[in-house]
Structure 1
């Protein structure tokens, strides 16, 4: 039986919520995950228990400004500048390093853009060398056309972020744009931890990371050994085309690189009809790079 435990991770005055899913038997690999915008670690349904049943320990964190790491209204969406975001991520990853089993890092959506930024930041080369592989689920490398803001809105927001960095904007994403599953859509609407707000400074930093990735300004580390990028072709939140462009531009630099398009899938591959294929692909990819594929496990309902 999978052992799920909750805890906290303290860093620079913040106490961040964590959750861990451990296999009942030997740990074959570790996966450290970073969630997306307006999300939290408990919204990945059967994905993490499934990985744990396959022998992969999962370590998740509600990032600064999100989920149960929010203690007051003023905390909502207050993720900070990119330097703060990357420092939080690196410190959390280091809690599992060094490791006697391979360590992998997964980022979804906003978290995927953060993971790619981390893997492109020279300051963290010592950490990057210790990561066996990187998994990107629908990474935020560019906006899907449905959510693309005008250049005027982007420019005005960046300017305002310097004057009122903690001013909050309400940035809802329609549940229908992230999953085709009506049950999951209903659960999103009912989830009180999904506050749909971001500060001007946090949103500007996220846009800067996205621009750096899509433009090629951020150079992926030569120490990235393996990378698996997956994206749904019907994603209405982040751009499938921008993800594919990033992969094509960087593929030759990565010794072991794979891109998989999920035809007709929406933004949350882990919560879309047919998610079982995504679960298995990620587990198999990790275990193949850990020296074992391990036994298959039954995939439970997502809710």
Structure 2
């Protein structure tokens, strides 16, 4: 989380530009904050790219944080004001591995993963919260088209991102080909997916 949403979208576009045109169907997938970014890209990414994306997959997307992790409106307001003066100011917010996954082996790998640095800038965190609010409101909406698929995965035991918010989002999603898989009791990080990413 190093910059505003415009930078996040530009970074995704820069990556996708290296893959397009593609001889195989292209899907954009993200987990947690990445899931939020994938869904946001579906609504705000450039048409020349999104028209070539077959579908979006969002695993435990950050549409709303769990109640215990939601910042107060006062904290959000203070953060927005501070981000205008010190946009690059870094904030470290440690995630407790025991909230990530029930599997002990997976939890032990979490702190050692260089990509899980738990650091963001004020500007990046404000963008993260703004994107979540947009997804909660349902505006802007993903425009349906032939061949577009949206798939979500979320565990009801997620202690980071609220599963009910994801369910509501998919319920109101104006897409014919959509599917949300809900897993009772599953935490934020899916063991199989995490190991797949580590091996890649």
**Residues 1:119 and 2:42 are matched in the alignment:** yes
Take 2:162 and 2:115, find their aligned partners in 1: how far apart are those partners? 25
Question: Does residue 144 of structure 2 align to residue 222 of structure 1?
Answer: yes
What is the aligned-residue RMSD (CA, Å)? 2.1
Residue 19 of structure 2 is aligned to residue 96 of structure 1: yes
Secondary structure in structure 1 of the residue aligned to 2:88: coil
* Conservation of the 8 A alpha-carbon contact between 2:155 and 2:186: yes
- Give the CA deviation at 1:96: 1.2
Q: Higher relative contact order by CA 8 Å / sep ≥ 6: 1 or 2? A: 2
Residue in structure 2 matched with residue 265 of structure 1 by the alignment:
186
Name whichever structure is richer in strand by fraction: 1
Contact 1:168 1:198 in 2 (8 A): yes
Alignment size in residue pairs: 197
Please tell me whether residue 238 in structure 1 is matched to residue 190 in structure 2.
no
**Mapping 1:1-303, distance limit 5 Å:** 77=1, 79-121=2-44, 124-223=46-145, 225-250=148-173, 253-269=174-190, 271=191, 275=192
Following TM superposition, by how much is the alpha carbon of 1:153 offset from its aligned partner in structure 2, in angstroms? 1.1
In structure 2, runs of 5+ residues without a counterpart are none
Normalising by structure 1, we get a TM-score of 0.61
* Deviation digits for residues 171-191 of structure 1 (CA, Å, limit 9, x no counterpart): 111111111111222222334
SS of the aligned residue for 2:24 comes to coil
Is the 1:125–1:221 Cα contact (8 Å) retained in structure 2?
no
The structure with the greater share of residues assigned to helix is 2
Q: Which of structures 1 and 2 has the bigger CA Rg? A: 1
1:44 corresponds in structure 2 to none
Distance 1:193 1:98 in 2: 29
Find the residue that maps to 2:111 and give its secondary structure.
Answer: helix
